[in-house]
Structure formats: structure tokens, C-alpha cells
Structure 1
């Protein structure tokens, strides 16, 4: 049976060129980048070259503003927790949104337990915040605003430029979780007044357990991971040089033209799937809509009257991998906090939605097969 992977928002297959780069680096560069001898200097050069390339990819002023981490979760945790603790003398008020990833929401809850106050901005049915709400929420004691660039469940793309301009006029620093957006959208941290930015390599066909945290020159805070003086004393732990080389390779393959082409391809696959379901009489609605400026690789669909778990199970039996618009844990399904924020806790969408997320390997033929299978399964379930 052929297997079709449509869960690229969860992770992506590594690009063969990335695997080749990592394999070559593993075979030739084994020194510790903190060592001063030849083998250490060899590793340091790979590390420095990779950092330079990645810094340029977001228009960072300096290479040392890129701090390699274990991934998006660590980057998010560091940005939120260490900023809050380091700026307590300024204030203890933080702002985020109701649809952030758990890597933001759980640190926020942790900080609330320490006496911090958090404002959770609501979103509309497109998954977007109101800039008016943001302006009204900002206070003199607000130290951090953390708003994701692109949502992992519905693909909504927040107005980052406008948000950055608003936050820049306040006492707060602006952090954005760009885990889903980096590699698909052009990012300019200077033009958008971004102080902190999180990414994860495995979302753009790179290796797992690796990401970076961008920190602007005004950001002064301690490392979340305590130990040695690696990463310019900003993140303890010996660097995974082969994986970092692979990350840089993945980034180098994604220039503006490639990113635009991928967005266009994914938009076409979205439209193909939506049109095919309509033609086959499937009852559905797109959660968050299909705005042209959203992350086109994410399509979240409400299949009216069809519970998501049986949908997923039947799709898997047909060789198709997708995901629910909610977190599955130990056989039970918890309602998606993203869809809850968008449509309310009583909406049937919470238990009847699936997320399809496209990658560079997906084809129109695969989507035709998906349409055929979804039509059959939804008719059976209803």
C-alpha cells in the first residue's frame, strides 16, 4: 500500500542534500567547537559559517544574535521565562494570544504561578488578533509581547509588521514564534521590530532537536540552560555541529523564489482539495478560511457530522497520514484550544476537524486520492 504523508506541520522529511551535508560533516568534523586546537577550530568554522548564513536569512544585524537551541520549545521557553524574570524590575505583565503553541502557553501559566499577570488576546474566526486589543492591553509594566507569526493548526498569519511597530513604541520586547513560518515566509527582524524569534529546523526539511533563538542587541537576559560558556555564553551545552551544518543547508535551499513557489504550490493543492470535496458533495467548511496571506501549507477542515478520531483512523487504514485539530492523548481527544478560541467551546468543529499540512513532496495525484478516500469515509461515517 502506498503511504501519503500530509502532516508536514508536525514535522517534515529531511532533504537529501541536508542528509548528505550532515553525513559528510559527521565523517570529517568531530572536534568540540569550544576547543582551541585544530580539530576544535575546524568545528568552530562550520559553526560560525552556519550561524552567518542563518543570521542573513532573517536580516539580523550580527551573527552572534543567533543562539542555537534544541528546537522551538526551548527557544520559546527561553524567550518567555528568561525575559519575564530578567525584567521584573520593569514590570510583571505579559501579553500573548489564546492560540499560541503550548511551548508559549505553558511557560505563561508557569509565570502566572510566580505572580506574573498574563493577558491572552482573543482571535476572530480567521485566527487573527485585533490590533486595537493589543494597543489597549499594553501597559507601562508590560515587559513582553509574544505573538506567533503563523499558527500551526489553521495557518493564520498575524500582522507581524504592524504588531512590531506597536510594541516598539512601548516598554515591552516583542517575541514571535516563527516555527511554522520560517522557511515559508520572508522574515526581516529589523524591518518588523522583532526582538526575539524562535524557529525549529525540522519544520523546513532539516534535522530534529535543533532550532535557534534570535535575540536583538537590546535583549539582555541569562541562559535558560546553565553550564558551560557555549553559544557565546548564551546557551550552555556542546553544539551539535553536523546538525547545525544540516540546518544551514536546509536554509540555504530556501531563497525567496523557492519560498514563494512553495506557497503557490500549497495554495494550489488547497484549492484542489476544497474544489474536489465540493464536487463530490462532502459537507465541510474550512476552519479559518483560505486567505491569500495565510500559511498555505496548513488546511484545517471541519467535516460536518464526522468525528475526527474515526476519520483519522480510516484515513490511516487507507495509507494517508493527517492529524486532528486537537491533541490526542492516551486514546482520548482534548478539544483544540485554537479552534475553541476561534469558534467557542460548544462548536462541533472542535471534535469534527482534521488538519492537512502539505510539504514539498506532495503531488496533485496524492490529493486526488485523498479526495476519493475522504468522500468514501465521510459517507460511511454519516
Structure 2
């Protein structure tokens, strides 16, 4: 029985020790953060400590942090036609978003279908800025305001978007800008101010927190998206429902740790990925490294072995002790053709063979060793089957 190695951090990261400790401590406490008695005040203090830690990770004002049940809810909360700034209504007429966004954006927004425009990407998966300019110009000429949503880093390829330039161009047309930073936070430095975006989505379990918590961060705390559902006055009236205090406490602890270690972790994890990719390219000439020549997350490799279906390779690696994934891991285990690679113009034969390997805070040299060993064991048989097909 081979020891297992986990290379699917982009799906979910193992919980960090600091987050586990915070989670357990909060589970052992009693109190609703909306209550005024001592237990309630203690619960509120836990929430506000976590809020400050999450805000610090992305350089935001804590008052702009809205806790949600995860990154998907944060995206849905952000992607609405109806905003206010203070008491003044601030409507958005159209949603401009990239063709490589996560399904949480492409399907989770609250705009009518006819008011959504997909922005094309180039062969490396980056938004074509001239196409954004043209879409913004059309919107302005029609007397409308756009909400632009472009992810900071792609969940499948790791490609980093030119988000600061997207925000600059969008703001020149009076648009609001949202970024899904779920994959980027904790893996590269993220500053909402440096990016220039109005709204930023985060997820706890991607950075080593517990599932069940996320956040939408507003650069201006007075910018308020319309709530997804009505209820109590939690989160300053921006998100109804009693807060998931244990998950929020773990989120705050993970954010503090991730923010403090991100620079060192970037260099360490990038070295692991480069070692793995270099060895695979040397030993397996059939391999296609997708988007290897563009700025991307230091932890993410998107690889294809043409002729071998992605699900076949993922299962073979799993049996050999390596957890990898094919595309995004948000479809109840179902493997489908990647819309991301399709939008990039990757030929279907290659796209259907693409897998993702993603490192994280718990990864080490032994994971590279085990992954290489697994490829060496499974590949000869897979190659024979592919050639016989």
C-alpha cells in the first residue's frame, strides 16, 4: 500500500492547525453573536476578531467584510444589479464577465440572461483587454452602467488575470468591479487597494480554514449589494442568518496564518511545482504543459496526456496514492469537458486529457517524490491502452 499524497489543494486545502484550534475553541463556547448577554458578547468578539484577520489578509477595512457560507455565496451576493452606496441607490444594468470564470459566477449571478456578456480570453486564458474596452464603450454609449467580474486567478489553470488594468479601464467608464479571489488568496499577496477592485470574494477552506465560511469584501464599507435573502440584521443588514461562528473563527485563524506566510510559501511551493513539472516533461515526452509560459499561481499545474482521458488518469493516480483532479472539483465527482480550456481554444483531444495538480501549505518534497513514482507506475499501462485504442 503506497502512502498517499494530496495534490488537490485548489479543490480544498487541509485544515491548518491554527484553524483547527480556533474551530474547536469556538465549538466549545456558547452564544449567539446578536445577543447582548456575556455569552453573546463573547461570540461577537470571536466574529469581529476573525473579521479583522480576514480584512488584514487582503488589506481591507474590517467594516467592508461580509461573512458568507462560502465563496459561491460571496459571488452571488456580489453579482447583483442592485447596489447602494450609503443611502443612495447605485444600479448596474449589465454584467460583463470572462468566459473562464468559475460556475459560481457564470451561473450564480443575479442578472437576467440577456443582460450578461461574456468577454473572450486569449490562448493563455487572459481576458482580452481590447474586448473589455469595446464592451464598456457599448455599455456607456447605451447610457448603462456595467458590473465587471473577472477572477484574480483561475481555478483550473492558475492563470493570473491583469486585474488592476481591468479595474482601471472599467472605472474609467463608471463601472463597478468584482473579483473572485478564492484561488488567489493565501497563495499570492492580495491587496484590494492595489488591485483597485470594488468587491472581492474569498473562501475559508481554500486557505486551510473549515468549510462553511467565506466572505465578500467591499473596498468601500458603504457599498452594499442587495442581500440574497431577507431575515435578521446580521452583518450590518447585508447577509441575514446567524453567523457560523466556529467556521468564521477558523477562517480568521487561517487568514492570519496565510497572510503572514504567503511570501515564503510562494517560493517554497513554486520550487515544488517546478521540480515536478521539470521531471514530468523530461520523463514523459507525450505530456503537454498548458499555460506554462504565463504568470500563474505558484501551486498549480495543468497537464495533458493526449489520448488518455482525464478521468482515466485521475483514477489511475488515485489507485497509486495520488489525489489529483480533472477540471474543477465542484460537480459532484462528474468529469466534463473544461469550459476554461475550451474558451482558450485548446483542441478537444487535449482538453479532454487535461488534469490539475495543485500544491498547498501542507505539501513537501515527499509529495513530489510520490507523485513522480505514481506516474512512473501507471503511465506504461495507460500508454499501451491509448495506442491500442
- 1:170 pairs with 2:173: yes
- 1:275 pairs with 2:278: yes
Aligned-residue offset at 1:8: 0.6
Q: 2:297 — aligned with what?
A: 295
C-alpha contact (below 8 Å) 1:306/1:378 kept by paired residues: no
Q: 2:266 — aligned with what?
A: 263
C-alpha contact (below 8 Å) 1:51/1:63 kept by paired residues: yes
Q: 2:70 — aligned with what?
A: 71
Aligned-residue offset at 1:330: 7.8
The 3 A distance-change label for structure 1 pair 127 and 22 is: same
Q: 1:10 — aligned with what?
A: 11
Aligned-residue offset at 1:319: 1.1
Unaligned runs of 5+ in 2: 384-389
Structure 2 SS opposite 1:299:
strand
The 3 A distance-change label for structure 1 pair 169 and 321 is: same
Q: How does 1:204-223 map to 2 (within 5 A)?
A: 204-217=207-220, 219-223=223-227
Aligned-residue offset at 1:107: 2.9
The 3 A distance-change label for structure 1 pair 326 and 237 is: closer
The 3 A distance-change label for structure 1 pair 285 and 372 is: same
Q: 1:333 — aligned with what?
A: 335
CA distances 1:222-247 after superposition (whole Å, capped 9, x unpaired): 21121100111110011122221211
Aligned-residue offset at 1:327: 6.3
Q: 1:19 — aligned with what?
A: 20
The 3 A distance-change label for structure 1 pair 49 and 360 is: closer
C-alpha contact (below 8 Å) 1:339/1:349 kept by paired residues: no
CA separation in 1, counterparts of 2:274 and 2:127? 25
- 1:235 pairs with 2:236: no
Structure 2 SS opposite 1:323:
coil
CA separation in 2, counterparts of 1:316 and 1:214? 37
CA separation in 2, counterparts of 1:363 and 1:118? 43
C-alpha contact (below 8 Å) 2:77/2:225 kept by paired residues: no
CA separation in 2, counterparts of 1:261 and 1:301? 25
Instruction: Out of 214-223 and 204-213, give the one that drifted further.
Output: 214-223
Aligned-residue offset at 1:290: 4.5
The 3 A distance-change label for structure 1 pair 86 and 53 is: closer
Aligned-residue offset at 1:334: 1.8
Q: 2:315 — aligned with what?
A: 313
Structure 2 SS opposite 1:94:
strand
C-alpha contact (below 8 Å) 2:71/2:182 kept by paired residues: yes
C-alpha contact (below 8 Å) 1:145/1:167 kept by paired residues: yes
Instruction: Out of 190-199 and 226-235, give the one that drifted further.
Output: 190-199
CA separation in 2, counterparts of 1:265 and 1:290? 20
Q: 1:124 — aligned with what?
A: 122
CA distances 1:147-170 after superposition (whole Å, capped 9, x unpaired): 000000000001121112112212
- Aligned-pair Cα RMSD in Å: 2.1
Instruction: Out of 90-99 and 310-319, give the one that drifted further.
Output: 90-99
Aligned-residue offset at 1:124: 1.6
CA separation in 2, counterparts of 1:73 and 1:331? 18
The 3 A distance-change label for structure 1 pair 316 and 117 is: same
Q: 1:49 — aligned with what?
A: 49
The 3 A distance-change label for structure 1 pair 376 and 209 is: same
TM-score (norm 1): 0.91
Structure 2 SS opposite 1:95:
strand
Q: How does 1:334-353 map to 2 (within 5 A)?
A: 334-344=336-346, 346-353=347-354
The 3 A distance-change label for structure 1 pair 189 and 366 is: closer
CA separation in 1, counterparts of 2:296 and 2:58? 19
